[in-house]
Amino acid sequence: MEGASERAGPSNPSNALRIAVLLPVFNDWTPLSRLLSQLDETLDANGLSADAFVIDDGSYEWAPSDLGSVQRRSLTEIVMVRLRRNLGHQRAIAIGLALVAHKSRYSTVVVMDADGQDRAVDVPRLVERLRGQPLVKAVFAERLRRSESVLFTVLYHLYRGLHLALTGVRVKVGNFSVLSADALDTLVAMSELWNHYAAAVFRSRVPYATVPISRGARLSGGSRMDFVSLVAHGLSAISVFGEVVAVRLMVASLGLVTLGIMLSAMEASIGPPSVHAVGLGLTWGTVVLLLSSQALVASLLFAFLVLARRSSVGFLPLRDFHFFILEEHVAKKTP
């Protein structure tokens, strides 16, 4: 493997910019085909070239035989990577990033969805922002608006509040982003990448920036994400911050225990209570103290469980990615 120091990058303008575009896909072959054409046109119009890595996440619909053989100008290679089984969007991204890092020849990696909601025309803007700020190692598209149902919007805002309360990090980005080679080297050595890509970037403390970008419309078909998948996706993002969540829950539990003690002391100072909690014969201070004490014990157990996991590496993307790749086919640009 070539060393990371041999990569071209924004900090070394004497070398050509080498871009890899990572596109995880599950059965969305029609929008992907259109997106590849749009991406080729956009790159060509901006004087850029790239290799596209299509990560087939165990699709049960076969990819079109001519997907990688269409005429193109700026997509030098289309690398078709088929996984052994369906792993889910985030894990497909982890496998793709590890594969790109293993090849060790790219200065910049673009991560985008294959359905067209991440627009090809916005790729040069993200790349330019990364190149223009040497201290920034990752640039994310910050969504200006979402064209979703009222129910989804309400649940999404509730999730954002829960995420902020538990982790201290605001949810404002998706997968659409650009990474430098340095950021890529960091991420593929993180087990957290297996759970959630964007959360792993934030957890890594890699310097990042955001660019306000509107979300596009799907190029074909409807979303394949159901309610269960969306909930699992959100919980996966929170799980990356397990240690932070454990500490915040402990602090909250201690606060409730303190509140319970104060209420009990106040109730004791004013004499026998005239109103008992929910007819149990207990004062409200006692009830709060009992429930908060149980919450404190549970949060302590959770904290120790999270800390115990630090001694095991688990899935390491750069080491283990090849176990999940069934086949890899490269379609080069025709002369």
Question: Which pLDDT belongs to residue 6?
Answer: 47
Q: What is the mean pLDDT of residues 29-40?
A: 91
Q: Which domains does the chain carry?
A: 16-224+315-332 (3.90.550.10), 243-309 (no CATH)
Q: What is the pLDDT of residues 40-96, one digit of tens each?
A: 999 999 999 999 999 999 998 888 877 766 667 899 999 999 999 999 999 999 999
Average pLDDT of the chain to the nearest whole number? 83
Map tokens 């052994």 to a residue: 84
For the question of whether the overall pTM of this predicted structure is more than 0.75, the answer is yes
Contacts of 252 (CB under 8 A, 6+ apart): 295, 299
CB atoms within 10 A of CB 314: 10
Work out whether strand 325-332 and strand 108-111 pair parallel, antiparallel, or are unpaired: unpaired
Whole-number percent of the chain with pLDDT over 70: 82
Question: Which pLDDT belongs to residue 45?
Answer: 94
Question: Which pLDDT belongs to residue 13?
Answer: 41
Q: What is the pLDDT of residues 265-276, one digit of tens each?
A: 777 777 655 555
Q: Are 35 and 70 in contact (CB under 8 A)?
A: no
Q: What is the pLDDT of residues 282-333, one digit of tens each?
A: 677 777 778 888 887 887 787 777 766 766 667 899 999 999 999 998 877 6
Map tokens 């991420």 to a residue: 187
95, 243, 251, 254, 259 from 300: Cα distances, Å: 34, 11, 10, 11, 18
Kindly state the DSSP code that residue 205 receives in the 8-state scheme. T
Map tokens 């799980």 to a residue: 239
Q: What is the pLDDT of residues 87-135, one digit of tens each?
A: 999 999 999 999 999 998 899 999 999 988 899 999 999 999 999 988 9
Q: What is the pLDDT of residues 205-233, one digit of tens each?
A: 999 999 999 888 777 766 666 667 777 77
Does residue 11 register a pLDDT over 50? no
Q: What is the mean pLDDT of residues 139-165?
A: 79
End-to-end CA distance of the chain: 28
